[in-house]
Structure 1
Amino acid sequence: MNDYEVVVFGLARMFEGYADRVRIVELSASVTPEEPVDVAMYDTFAGAQADGDGLREAIEESNANRVVVYTWNLDAALVDAALAQGARGYLAKSLPAAELVAALERVRDGEIVVSDTPDRAVTVGGDWPGRAEGLTNREAEVIALITQGLSNHEIAVQTHLSINSVKSYIRTAYRKMGVTSRSQAVLWGVEHGFRPDRRRVTFAGPGAAAT
């Protein structure tokens, strides 16, 4: 569950070699899968973190038997908040596909699984807007939030980063993007897929075409 098409389709590509173990039912930009699923993955990219209402709503309103958080942010307080709200797992985006699939299977079987993998600077799997243009996952997330209209302070609160870290990510991202102002950054973001996508994509089964 994430508002960015490139994020959810990147995750789908990670699972292509595991069709005998993982069936993707839906890639959703909203919080409620339309048919029951064993496990729903709540991706925090440019969205509410695990201590916000978004996760609680996903857990309470989802048709998923279990919900796990899938994130770059392994802050201990966020892990505790997610589990307290009822998440059954907190999985790092640095997990290779094989380990991610194994973790999801453990969650499906009733375990609570929390990644102990360090939150690395470079993600092993998955995708994000701006990756092809050289943006890191953190830079991309900050630009996505700028494109959504958030202030630096709001970005810091939402991402659990310091305001100085946010400004640093903005500076490095701007250099890569070739922009010098916030308005230029917003326009660049709109042109490069940084606006949330509300489309729902469902799958009839492994290898099925998107609809």
Structure 2
Amino acid sequence: MAIGTLLVDDQQLVRAGLRMLCESTEDITVVGEAATGAEAVRLVPGTSPDVVLMDLRMPGMDGTTATRRILADRPATRIVVLTTFDDDDHLYPALAAGACGFLAKDAAPGELLDAVRQAAVGGSPFSGAVLRRLVGQATTAWRAERPAAEAPALTEREREVLALVGAGLSNAEIAARMHVGLTTVKTHVGSLMRKTASPSRVRLAVFAIHHGLA
């Protein structure tokens, strides 16, 4: 079954490019387009997208508010934020609103398609540069929200993986650095998220920094 995707961006040219890219594949289909956050909120019930590609800065209702509203009614929807370097102030609020991934707008076409696929199966796709920016913001916010709890018991290999996640490396980069398979890294990351009660990769990276493990 194809992955139903809703495109949300106030620039028609951007939406057209995203549509062409998504429709060049057999496993991703575009179920709708929205130029504003409010329009996206209205469209979701009728289109039932698996994944929403969400711009952050739009006239009227912004992407963060739209993300929060969509997930309040349909928590199973996966929302991947498309961001530029001018969006830094909006990254952590979008994460707190429930976005599952963040991708730079200048990401390679293959990276964007892979992000849609990862999100659809429960993954948290992040561009490396965006992850590092977001972790910096989230770390500051998290320290203000809660004191550091005692770290759970981790194996030496798990600590190594956690340190690299905290440094902003992707699973593929970690696999290359550690000379192990990608599946092995995914297994370790999944285990770490469970042990640390981290709902996302960003929270896991923040946990590593917060506990001096990165």
Which structure exhibits the higher relative contact order, with contacts defined as CA atoms closer than 8 Å and separated by 6 or more residues?
A: 1
Q: TM-score, normalised by structure 1?
A: 0.47
Q: TM-score, normalised by structure 2?
A: 0.46
